Structure 1
Amino acid sequence: MNTPQPPGAGTALSTLDVDRSDPAYRDWLKEAVRKVQADANRSADTHLLRFPLPEQWGIDLYLKDESTHPTGSLKHRLARSLFLYGLCNGWIRPGRPVIEASSGSTAVSEAYFAKLIGVPFVAVMPRTTSAEKIRLIEFHGGQCHFVDDSRRMYEEAAALATRTSGHYIDQFTYAERATDWRGNNNIAESIYQQLRLERYPEPAWIVATAGTGGTSATIARYVHYMQHNTRICVPDPENSCFFDGWTKDDPHAVSDCGSRIEGIGRPRMEPSFVPGAIDRMMKVPDAASVAAVRALEGAIGRKAGGSTGTGLWSALKIVAEMVADGRKGSVVTLLCDPGDRYLDKYYSDAWLAEQGLDITPYTATIDSLLATGVWNAA
């Protein structure tokens, strides 16, 4: 990828020193904010799907289907919030590129919003990012800038923003603060509104995987703010440091390599991950994530990405604990993005063999649970 240069040099709206009181800039800003808010206004809420469980258990399991957003993932909410945050702070400017460090879905959504307001977009990402995500970023007008070591994404994105006089939007720092966790139709408020006519309207658990940590922070803060009794569980995949950082209370925890489950897991404790807000974490083997996402297709006929499998595996384990304890109630997890982005990975037996992943024992655990109510650990 060629390093992008700020387009439109010499125009009143794209000079290096933007006068933020200039009427032309203020008109551009108002129109950009209007366009981003209009996207939310014309978007319906996402569905809450039921995962079939035996009726006699008295437990309901739901998946919040975030794949139905215009850009096909949970990250559409985050990208919208980040763009509004950047615009209203005066950080995103006309004609200047927006730069992001992203393994895929956030970049797809941010490319969409950049195109919507007419600014260039560049995603700095690992070279191993799925081909379908790369295609989608480019479809929305973005460019891809690859790094061989995922741990270098941050510094490369910041350096690229400096070289191009652009804005490093930095989802990993700003995800938890760009979203209004008190409500305003965030994902947490939406879940509770959709559950209000169900037999267990206050879920016992909400399971949310973490990439930036912004979603788990938003949900947990909302739960505490609204004084709900719901507990928050954050599952973590292999090759991610969040679980170790949380269990050892170590804000400097790191991992030596990147996660195979795209969109979640990080090599460092991200600023937007808020350990103190959540109640529980689980470490989930990557093979279990794949087994769960394939079980989801068998149960409801929907393919989903690997992060959905990580969350579903943990949600099913919580369900098994509730069955064993004789507790009734509801559990909610997230369907983060569609599986057609990962046909060459999580739905490919060749990829599993290449990665040395055997999903057979984890598939047996899920099958046993659904048939008998007993969790036979893999």
Structure 2
Amino acid sequence: MSEWVSSAIRVLEADANRSADTHLHLFPLPAEWGIDLYLKDESVHPTGSLKHRLARSLILYGLVNGLIDENTTLVESSSGSTAVSEAYFARILGLKFITVIPRSTSQEKIDLIEFYGGHCHLVDRAEDISPEARRLAAGCYGHYLDQFTFAERATDWRGNNNIAESVFSQLAQERHPIPRWIVVGAGTGGTSATFGRYVRYRRHATQVAVVDPEGSAFYAAWKGDTEATGQPSRIEGIGRPRVEPSFVPSVIDEMIAVPDAASVAAIRLLRERTLHLAGGSTGTNLYGAFELIGRMRDAGETGSVVTLICDSGIRYTQTYYSDEWVTSQGLDLAPHRQRMIDFLAGGAWG
């Protein structure tokens, strides 16, 4: 191993020591339910999202496999948070970074990627981002990080940079230290694979639920259609038009399809009830968590449920928090908002 690679690994591990453990917040539920809902706030990472962990793991994976050296250009196919985080790590390692993104990507995200020194290569069709990233990497002494293939294997589900281990450690002094459910979305499938494998490895009586937005192929794949296709998701960071190699259905206990309007209504309600400003995928998580808590109440169960604040809502002021954007998308938030309000007031989830 070269001196440069050794130094690069040390730099990434130092970042993990500074930033790996994030806060675990309680969401206010009626005390008489005997159920606690926790939100692990991944938005407080240096690059503002859950993908900070993934980006570090993908680059470490490339380093230890001899695929990255001091002259390598890092290449990714990502329109958002993963690319932001990878650009950050590329900058601190002194490497060039290129991400292939759809032309429709928000200017806020492009600005963040470029702030960290990354270059955005635009394509017209979302389905072209992976083939174009492979082509670019082959032509520029590049390494294609390929989050959609390597997310589930780059993160060590037994310990290294493990979000699951962090959650269980933080719950150790709570009244329900072993959660009944963990609720996450799937963009690559890496987070659900990490949690699913970890709870089995530790022999916990915890089940993992994945929430999926409209148009995504993952829900149908979990139901058994491994050739399922869909459309790009309006809920950035989760959902895919195809079943990605990193998605592992066998470690998932439940999947819940969540309407996009419900995801947007949920983050607005989260803001009102907790002051946390979160992105759309957090709303998908929260709505799914409410459904599972409703099932627990119906069954007379007590316990805890854990989900994630995936990124900050500051990136979505022109979309999910804009009434004009909501109207332009034809989304009706009102029935989903009312359902959640009635539920949190003690009503049934229905």
Question: TM tier, shorter chain?
Answer: over 0.9
Matches of 2:215 and 2:140, distance apart in 1: 32
AA aligned opposite 2:122: F
Q: Is 2:29 the partner of 1:84? A: no
Give the 5 Å matches for 1:62-101: 62-101=38-77
AA aligned opposite 2:202: M
Rg comparison, structure with higher value: 1
How has the CA–CA distance of structure 1 residues 44 and 188 changed in structure 2, closer, same or farther, with 3 Å as cutoff?
closer
Q: Is 2:254 the partner of 1:268? A: no
Question: What is the aligned residue count?
Answer: 350
Q: Is 2:225 the partner of 1:250? A: yes
Q: Check conservation: 2:134, 2:144, Cα contact below 8 A.
A: yes
SS of the residue 1:321 aligns to: helix
Matches of 2:19 and 2:329, distance apart in 1: 38
Q: Check conservation: 1:205, 1:232, Cα contact below 8 A.
A: yes
Q: Give structure 1 stretches of 5+ with no counterpart.
A: 1-20
Q: Give structure 2 stretches of 5+ with no counterpart.
A: none
**TM-score, normalising length: structure 2:** 0.98
1:36-63 CA distance string (max 9 Å, x none): 1111122251000000000001000000
1:157 to 113, 130, 133: 133
Q: Check conservation: 2:16, 2:161, Cα contact below 8 A.
A: no
SS of the residue 1:330 aligns to: strand
State which drifts further: 318-327 or 263-272.
318-327
Q: Is 2:33 the partner of 1:54? A: no
Matches of 1:81 and 1:91, distance apart in 2: 14
Alignment partner, residue 192 of structure 2: 216
AA aligned opposite 1:324: D
Q: Check conservation: 2:236, 2:281, Cα contact below 8 A.
A: yes
Q: Check conservation: 2:30, 2:346, Cα contact below 8 A.
A: no
AA aligned opposite 2:242: R
Matches of 1:102 and 1:336, distance apart in 2: 16
Give the 5 Å matches for 1:329-344: 329-344=303-318
State which drifts further: 321-330 or 196-205.
321-330
Q: Is 2:282 the partner of 1:308? A: yes
Q: Check conservation: 1:254, 1:269, Cα contact below 8 A.
A: yes
State which drifts further: 364-373 or 283-292.
364-373
Alignment partner, residue 238 of structure 1: 214
Alignment partner, residue 3 of structure 1: none
1:101-125 CA distance string (max 9 Å, x none): 1120000000000001111001111
Alignment partner, residue 260 of structure 2: 286
Q: Is 2:84 the partner of 1:108? A: yes
The share of aligned pairs that are identical, in percent, is 60
AA aligned opposite 2:45: H
SS of the residue 1:177 aligns to: helix
How has the CA–CA distance of structure 1 residues 93 and 184 changed in structure 2, closer, same or farther, with 3 Å as cutoff?
closer
Alignment partner, residue 4 of structure 1: none
Residue 185 of structure 1 deviates from its aligned partner by: 4.7
**TM-score, normalising length: structure 1:** 0.91
Matches of 1:347 and 1:146, distance apart in 2: 26
Alignment partner, residue 300 of structure 2: 326
AA aligned opposite 1:299: R
Matches of 1:201 and 1:90, distance apart in 2: 40
Matches of 2:149 and 2:37, distance apart in 1: 31
Q: Check conservation: 1:323, 1:373, Cα contact below 8 A.
A: no
Alignment partner, residue 332 of structure 2: 358
1:157-189 CA distance string (max 9 Å, x none): 111111212111000111010111012351000
Matches of 1:349 and 1:239, distance apart in 2: 22
1:211-246 CA distance string (max 9 Å, x none): 000000000000000000101000000111000111
How has the CA–CA distance of structure 1 residues 288 and 179 changed in structure 2, closer, same or farther, with 3 Å as cutoff?
same
Matches of 1:215 and 1:44, distance apart in 2: 15
SS of the residue 2:240 aligns to: coil
SS of the residue 2:120 aligns to: strand
